[in-house]
A and B are shown apart, each in its own frame.
Chain A
Amino acid sequence: MSISLSHLTKRYGADTVVNDVNVEIPEGSLTAVLGPSGSGKSTLLKLIAGLESPDEGRVVIEGDDVTDVDPRHRDIGFCFQHYAPFRHMNVARNIGFGLRVRKQPKDVIDAKVAELIELVRLDGKAKSYPAQLSGGERQRMALARALAIEPRVLLLDEPFGALDAQVRTELRQWVKELHRQIKVTTILVTHDQDEAMEVADQLLIMHQGRIEQAGEPTELYERPATEFVHGFLGPTTTFKGASVRPHDLELVATSVGAIEGNVQSIMELGFEVQVTVSLSDGSTPWVQMSRNEFRSINVGVGSPVSIRERD
């Protein structure tokens, strides 16, 4: 295991922000810590980096207990939500910062910086200042700066949070590709479930300072361990008093034994159609289906229908 956290706890006054977290993160994985804001995910990341110190528990990286090690000696690459660029240094000097701190010879630094600039596709920007870069470019510069010290672990705090939608999607794919190339154990924090599902090969769902569930994205989606995970990861509706995925339900003609109801509203979202049904037991579950399927059943608002779970 690359990172293992045991009984990690952090309190701010009476608030327990991170509550008895026990996690093993495999070598070379790309793990997303997913949770609503205030769930303690950013604090967890800072505890690993050593930017916060835990009240209880241990942080072990590649077998070394680093709980009491100063962040500057942990060999961790940390990318901040707002990138924390050194604004008075140009791109090349930003990227070379960690190497200058480590007193590397100038030609080694220059070569490494040039290599990283190419890796993060900032060619021609070496002499630019952070103020002259776009958000996505700044993000990539921060990534290169963190990678320059050849960290054992790469930590990304809400890496795409401050970018506009299109850049965000591009950058996600790029980060995933980059990770495939360099294989450094990476943890990223996000509150966006789509982002986490798309990028990560391991998910940690956090809620109120605790890890609700950990595992592969598909496994968590299909077998959520708690109601919270069910609701947080993917669409959810309530049918017969239980949480189900709306695409696991289907509309059928009224028949004996099924709960009857009427179509309350229809929302067409291009390929996807969401149909909300008002059932006789008072509940109003919604059903997710494809456009073709919706066309074939031929219902409108007010149509009498029943709902059943798909096989």
Chain B
Amino acid sequence: MDTPARAPSSELGAPPARRGWRRFSSRARSSFGLYGGASLIVGYLSIIVLIPIAAVAAHGFSFSIHTQGWGAAFWHWHLSAGFATFWHDITQPAAISAIRLSLWLSLSVAAINAVMGVAIAWVLVRDKFPGKWFLEAFIDLPFALPTIVVGVVLLFLYGTASPLKISLFETWMGLMVALLFVTLPFSVRAVQPVLASLDGESEAAAKSLGAGGIRTFLWVVLPSLWPAVLGGFGLAFARAIGEFGSISLIAGGIGRTTTASSYIYNLTQGFLWTNAAAVSTALLVLSLLILIATNVFARRIQRRLAS
């Protein structure tokens, strides 16, 4: 039988149909007691991320407590005032343009690197050439390098005094180059192991059925890579939207190249903590939505492929 074994069934016959909670809990499985495993992850994440994030979000909504009594009026006033302030902060033209720049840059960078990641992973897995080990190491460089170093290097290469005579200073192209570089390892490393695990039999089968190289790649190889490509896309996007160090220098100081992260930084320099928190929260929600979307999509494909 191909259906995976679930809860152990009675030897005497099929187990009674389970509904609702009972059905749900019979499918749950935990290494640390019921929901112990989930609590472990949630607890740990709470300490290191969730609580600070909640604090930032709360700050964005101005939930700070200026007590005037704790009745229903208090909450009503604070929530409505909080949301009004939040909405006002994130709809500032500068805030909107910064968030918009961050979003489209990050999405396009993730998309470009999804394509290049597959191509580079393909070469690294399938080809043999001298110096391959060096390229392997070079791709991981952004993991090891402080991003401000990338910023300095890019400013030197593509700044106003560019030795290549290409100035990307204060242009979105400059930002994009920086982001493409720092997110590349996510795109490549997500795809590489999956590509390496393909045994080549399906490709040979496609070939014997008459498919050429391009068709074999598009019809047979790529579909098995989709979950990994989407995973890499999500990680690269997340990294790009949060990136600050590598783009801060080449962006210069003008509004046109101010990303959300730079905008937030500028706000904090002016002690506009509430505004900074509001924009951070907006960015956080948007990123989370995109990550969840790619995850759901990848899982849907993965489920079909799983044997």
Contacts and interface: CB of A to CB of B under 8 A. Distances in A.
Partners in one complex: yes
A145 B211 CA distance: 13
Interface stretch (A26-34, A95-103, A231-239): A95-103
A294 interface: no
A166 interface: no
A130 B307 contact: yes
Nearest to B220: A86
Contact of A131 (B219, B223, B301, B305): B305
Interface of A: 49-51, 71-74, 76-78, 80-82, 84-89, 97-98, 101-102, 129-134, 142, 145-146, 148-149
Given A84-B201, A84-B202, A86-B202, A72 B220 contact: no
Nearest to A49: B208
Interface residues of B, number: 23
A102 B304 CA distance: 26
Given A82-B201, A88-B304, A71 B207 contact: yes
B210 A129 contact: no
Contacts of B212: 72
A80 B204 contact: yes
Given A86-B202, A88-B223, A72 B305 contact: no
Contacts, number: 79
A51 B205 CA distance: 9
Nearest to A90: B304
Contacts of B223: 86, 88-89
Nearest to B205: A84
B127 interface: no
Contact of B210 (A86, A131, A132, A149): A149
Contact of B204 (A51, A97, A149): A51
A81 B215 CA distance: 23
A72 B2 contact: no
A49 B210 CA distance: 12
B208 A101 contact: no
B294 interface: no
Contact of B205 (A50, A74, A80, A88): A80
A83 to B, nearest CB: 8
A72 B216 CA distance: 11
A72 B219 CA distance: 15
Contacts of B307: 87, 130-131
A84 B204 CA distance: 9
Contacts of B205: 78, 80, 84, 86, 142, 145
B209 interface: yes
A45 B166 CA distance: 56
